[in-house]
Structure formats: C-alpha cells, structure tokens
Amino acid sequence: MVLKVSEVSGSLDRYHEEFEGAEGFLRASFPSFGETFVGGMALRSKRSVSADSPTSSCGSSLSVASVISTSPSKSSVLSASSVCSMPIPVVPQKKYSAHADKGNIHTWIDAMRAQSPPHYHGDTVEAFDIETTIYNSWLEKHPSALSSFDKVIKHAVKKQIVVFLDYDGTLSPIVEDPERAFMSAEMRSTVKDVASCFPTAVISGRSRPKVYDFVQLSELYYAGSHGMDIMGPANGSDGFRVKGIKARDKKGNDVVLFQPAIEYLPLINKVTTALLESTKAIKGSKVENNKYCVSVHFRRVKEELWEALAERVGNVMKDFPTLSLTHGRKVLEVRPSIAWDKGKAVEFLLKSLGFKDTSDVIPIYLGDDKTDEDAFKMVNTTKYGCSILVSSVVKPTEAKFSLRDPLEVMEFLRRLVDWKK
C-alpha cells in the first residue's frame, strides 16, 4: 500500500491535533505543566529502530586542560577579590510540575519518548516511503538550513552573526554513555574556525567545566547547567539589568561569571545524593550532577523499568519543593524553579557582547532538545534570528530551520566560515 501525499499530510495534521489535545488536557489537569511539556510524534512500528541508537564516537581522547576549573566546587578561574563583593542577582521564581502521581509519571515518560521518537523503519518499502513523505512534509515547515543557506545569511553583510551551539546531539552524536559523548576532531576544528569569524558560545545542560572538557576551545563563551552558569565577555556587559560577577580567566582575560541559581548549590548536591540513593537499585540508571541541575538518565534502563525509575525520582522530588523537573532525550532533569533557561542565557550573552539592540545582530542557534526550544523562541523574537533544530525525525518545534544530525551541523558551520572568508 502506498499512501498519497495528501493522506500523509492528513495524518500529520491529525497528529498535531492529538498532540495539542493532549497538551490541553495536561494544562487543565496540571496547570503548571504546560510550561514544560512538549509532546512529539511517536511513529511506532513493531520493528522500530531507535533514532537514538548508539553511534560510534569518532572523537579524540580528551585531556583536562582548560582555562576553566574542572572542579565544580572551586572557582579557580576567579580572582578572589572579584567574587565576594557582588550581590547574588534575584531571578523571578517559576514553578514547574514535579508531582509524583501516576498521571505525571506517564506524562514524563511519554514526553521523554517524544524527544527521542523512533524512526518508523517499518516492515515494508511502503512504510519507509510513508516515513520519508511525513518527514518531507515536516521539512516544508522547517526547511533545511543548508538548502536555505542564502536565506539564513541574507542580511549578514551588514549585521554581526553570533553563533550559539548546543552540545549533546548537536556538536556530538547521542551515545549510550554520557561520559563518552566526544565531538570529532573535525567538528572541533570547524567550531574553532567559526569562532575565528564570529562570536561563538556553547550553551549546554552539562556543567560548564564538563562541556569545556569536551569542546576544549578557549576562544568560545560557555554557558553550562542549561544557561545557569555563564562565563561571558566583560566588554559591553555594563548596564545589563542583571549583572554578572566580574572575574578573570586563567589567561588573564576579563570575563563575567553569571550564576543566577548560585544559592541552590547546596540543595542540588543534596538532591543528587538522594537521587543516587533512591535509584541505585535500577539497573542502567545514571545520575549526573551538572552543578546547578541534575540529570537522571533512562537511556540504559530497560523500558519496563522506566515507570519505577520515574516513580523514584518523583518521590525524591516531594522533599524538594523548590526544585522542578523537566525532560530531555531519555533523561529527566532536576533544576531550580527559577525563570532562567537557555533563552535567557542567549539574551544575557547578546547583551554582554554589546548587542543591546538585537536588530544589529543575527543570532544563529543550533540545538536538538526540549531545553533548546526556549532559545529558539528567544532567537525568533529578534529581527534576523535563525533557529535551527537538529533532528532526523519529525518533532514539534519552534525552530524555523532544521538540520538532520551533527554531520549536517558541521557542513552548515563550514559554509558559514566559507561565506565569511
């Protein structure tokens, strides 16, 4: 059986209706949940192949050599005098849902699946055709940033491009073991070239020192913990509404360190200990402390144990009412309930770079995950902003453009460099 394009488009529209219906239901049932929930297209077949199946790493081995401290507890990059005198900025509180009832647990699990939907590699050539047709129909709404390259750089002659890069799934392929998510030497050298042409920042859910260890390029700006730990340039940051702490990196450069969730540090360490204890019996689970947030990984846990794991996470959360849960690709993330996200980090960095008027700049943001959606939204509010989702499967997204995988990301970045040169 071969479906006509119109029939497939119909399925896609029906899917969107169902997704929106589910989101409406969730909003009604859990008023605060709409802020974090994102659904996704779960095209399932009996013999599906995961979009996130382990990919071999082509990365080089990494050594710990950085301008940034690798110990989350030490601020070795800072000159002591700079740290103490600055007030901790007050960031408005934002409530996410973290109730551990069964309804929510299933919602978390569905939301995690939605971020990593399987490829619909059905049993037949026709099934493959359907998948391709549905993907192509989605591509019409989120065209490839490669085929639309001229559109992306249309205004770039007179404006300054600033590049924002997510790490996992964007610069490095998704792999089973988060400790081995290396980026390739080619990608590193490409990002280095990008940074020699445009201001470039990496914005990751990882802790800042950890993502630095993976990337190993001192010429970039880094925001770790989903933007809650930013090291940016000192120039141009004066006058910014929420000031960072003036500091100096190991090379003697002036930088600004901005950590809006700093007072949550003891709590994050406490919840990490509690999560480690409560999840240790679940085989394959992993708790990763990302300094201002904590990831609980489901990727190596058998699917039949996902509910038990989510339930344990939910039970721990009951003791931490000021923390919230969000989700990503086979991961639940515990974070402070503050109104700060990757979008705010992009805004902060743009202002820190001196772009108070965003119509002077072309921010280009590339990311693959739910938490990148906040950054897409922010970039879309700017006149020339370019938001790019990295995904080889259909996902609901705010991004205007798409790229399939880190290899296409590298090709896109190369074209940016070539265009500049």
Ligand X SMILES: O=P(O)(O)OC[C@H]1O[C@H](O[C@H]2O[C@H](CO)[C@@H](O)[C@H](O)[C@H]2O)[C@H](O)[C@@H](O)[C@@H]1O
Minimum CB distance to ligand X, residue 85 (Å): 32
Of 280, 340, 270, 349, give the one whose Cα is nearest residue 312: 280
Is residue 168 near ligand X by the rule CB under 6 A?
A: yes
Closer residue to ligand X in complex, CB, 167/212 = 167
Binding residues for ligand X restricted to 347-386, rule: CB under 6 A: 369, 371
Of 76, 64, 63, 83, give the one whose Cα is nearest residue 250: 76
Active site residue 166: yes
Closer residue to ligand X in complex, CB, 134/378 = 378
Binding residues for ligand X restricted to 179-208, rule: CB under 6 A: 181, 204-206
Alpha helices in 183-332 (DSSP H): 185-197, 208-215, 265-279, 306-317
Is residue 328 near ligand X by the rule CB under 6 A?
A: yes
Is residue 175 near ligand X by the rule CB under 6 A?
A: yes
Minimum CB distance to ligand X, residue 291 (Å): 10
Number of residues that bind ligand X (CB under 6 A): 24
Evaluate whether 115 touches 329 at the Cβ level (below 8 Å): yes
Minimum CB distance to ligand X, residue 202 (Å): 8
Candidates 8, 111, 331, 379: give the one binding ligand X (CB under 6 A).
331
Evaluate whether 96 touches 293 at the Cβ level (below 8 Å): no
Is residue 131 near ligand X by the rule CB under 6 A?
A: no
Instruction: Please tell me the distance from the alpha carbon of residue 255 to that of residue 249, in angstroms, as a whole number.
Output: 7
| Tokens coding 204 | 């990751």
Evaluate whether 133 touches 3 at the Cβ level (below 8 Å): yes
Minimum CB distance to ligand X, residue 141 (Å): 23
Instruction: Please tell me the distance from the alpha carbon of residue 167 to that of residue 183, in angstroms, as a whole number.
Output: 9
DSSP state, 296?
A: E
Minimum CB distance to ligand X, residue 208 (Å): 11
Instruction: Please tell me the distance from the alpha carbon of residue 421 to that of residue 416, in angstroms, as a whole number.
Output: 9
Of 344, 348, 350, give the one whose Cα is nearest residue 364: 350
Is residue 229 near ligand X by the rule CB under 6 A?
A: no
Task: Using only the alpha carbons of the chain, give its radius of gyration.
Answer: 21
Closer residue to ligand X in complex, CB, 243/300 = 300
Q: What is the distance, to the nearest Å, from the Cα of residue 303 to the centroid of all Cα atoms in its chain?
A: 23
Candidates 113, 119, 330, 400: give the one binding ligand X (CB under 6 A).
330
Stretch that binds ligand X, among 23-31, 241-249, 287-295, 395-403 (CB under 6 A): 287-295
> Tokens 């209706």, residue?
17
| Tokens coding 27 | 């909003």
3-state class of 398 per DSSP? Answer: coil
Minimum CB distance to ligand X, residue 194 (Å): 17
Candidates 178, 227, 232, 260: give the one binding ligand X (CB under 6 A).
178
Closer residue to ligand X in complex, CB, 246/377 = 377
Minimal CB distance residue for ligand X: 205
Catalytic residue among 110, 150, 166, 368: 166
Of 325, 297, 292, 296, give the one whose Cα is nearest residue 224: 292
Candidates 107, 285, 290, 397: give the one binding ligand X (CB under 6 A).
290
The residues, ordered by sequence, that sit 6+ positions from 40 with a Cβ below 8 Å of its Cβ are 19, 111, 113, 114, 115, 117, 395, 396
Instruction: Please tell me the distance from the alpha carbon of residue 16 to that of residue 340, in angstroms, as a whole number.
Output: 28
Closer residue to ligand X in complex, CB, 68/245 = 68
Is residue 246 near ligand X by the rule CB under 6 A?
A: no
Closer residue to ligand X in complex, CB, 166/408 = 166
Instruction: Please tell me the distance from the alpha carbon of residue 205 to that of residue 227, in angstroms, as a whole number.
Output: 7
Candidates 113, 208, 246, 297: give the one binding ligand X (CB under 6 A).
297
Minimum CB distance to ligand X, residue 210 (Å): 8
Is residue 299 near ligand X by the rule CB under 6 A?
A: yes
Is residue 301 near ligand X by the rule CB under 6 A?
A: no
Q: Which residues bind ligand X (CB under 6 A)?
A: 166-169, 174-176, 178, 181, 204-206, 288, 290, 295, 297, 299, 328-331, 333, 369, 371
| Active site members | 166
